[in-house]
Amino acid sequence: MEKVVDSDESHGVPGQDVADFVSMQKVKRKRQGKWALVLWMSLLVVGGGVVFYNRELEKPISSEPSEFVKQEKEYQDTLARESREALRLFDRYMVVASANEKSEYVLGGVRKILSIEQKQGDLDFIVPRPPVRLLANSYSDEGEMPRLEFLLVDKSQRRFEVVMWKKDSVWKLDWEQHVRYAESGWSQFLADQTIGNPKEFRLYVRRRHVGAGRERTKLQLIFYKPKMQVGERLQESPQVNVPKDSAQFAQLGAAFDAQSSKKDEVRPSVMGLLDTAGFLRVKATLDWQQGAEEDPVMVLKELSATHWLELDPGKNSSAGTDE
């Protein structure tokens, strides 16, 4: 009997015959196709995410400037524009010679002519040597009128202040602040010691406490006449005592405390920027009265302002520097 040889040696073994082999290959290819599709879709999602992430990184943090940035730009634009016009008028004031001509550029106008004429010999005038350079300036629309403040330096490196007020759309010089005006001469007032004849001055003042904490019984004050050159001062006053139960005690205490807090301001005022630490600017009325002994003693009659400006400056002043 002839032996029939099957070419498939694995015939009859489950999963190993030709039909099963072909079927298994088809299933394998189908699974591979599914995995390929899943892999392709995964790469598409991840790739899209990467592109989206990169595009997000390229975007600016904010397409619109913040309100602070807008306000700062508006302030700087106003400061630059108004400063150009105000300094142009101040240059004219410095050029003209007569009191009548100068009064055209001064706050108060013709009412200041006699003061300008009479006080030129008594006041410590600075005549800047050109070129004059701007060190710092500020603008404020608080107070009685819009105000510009300038700190300038001349060829001799002398620094001086200029304040301009915008009255009826025209910038005018605060002449009284500029020259540290007072009706009477400081040196003469100290020398005469006339009792019962009070005078108001623009002065620096520093304090010394007597006692500590709640036990402080009075303030001891020393006044100084300022010069036009910023930060410099003339002769000092004798000691002035302010008792704790007086209105000036609380007023001065609050003013000195407020001055200390100004160190943390973002834009400190140009006025006083170069003053000696611990010195306060005041408009003070002083007088002489009979002391316990024979010599008269100086007394503080009134503290009318903690600045030297002719008008009320309001609460704040913003400044910028340009060194």
Q: Is the pTM of this model over 0.85?
A: no
Domain boundaries, the chain: 67-179, 186-307
The rounded distance, in Å, linking the Cα atoms of 186 and 116 is 17
Looking at residues 269-293, what average pLDDT do you find? Answer: 92
Answer with the residue of higher pLDDT: 112 or 44. 112
Banded pLDDT at 15 (limits 50, 70, 90): very low
Task: Convert the pLDDT of each residue in 210-242 to its tens digit.
Answer: 655 555 678 899 999 999 899 888 899 999 999
* Percentage above 90 pLDDT, the chain: 48
Say if residue 268's pLDDT is above 80: no
Write a three-state SS string for the chain.
CCCCCCCCCCCCCCCCCHHHHHHHHHHHHHHHHHHHHHHHHHHHHHHHHHHHHHHHHHCCCCCCCCHHHHHHHHHHHHHHHHHHHHHHHHHHHHHCCCHHHHHHHECCHHHHHHHHHHHCCCCCCCCCCCCCEEEEEEEECCCCCCEEEEEEECCCCCEEEEEEEEECCEEEECHHHHHCCCCCCHHHHHHHCCECCCEEEEEEEEEEEECCHHHCCEEEEEEEEECCECCCEEEECCCEEEECCCHHHHHHHHHHHHHHHHHHCCCCCCCCCCCCCCCEEEEEEEEEEECCCCCEEEEEEEEEECCCCCCCCCCCCEEEECC
Banded pLDDT at 318 (limits 50, 70, 90): very low
What's the pLDDT score for residue 114? Answer: 84
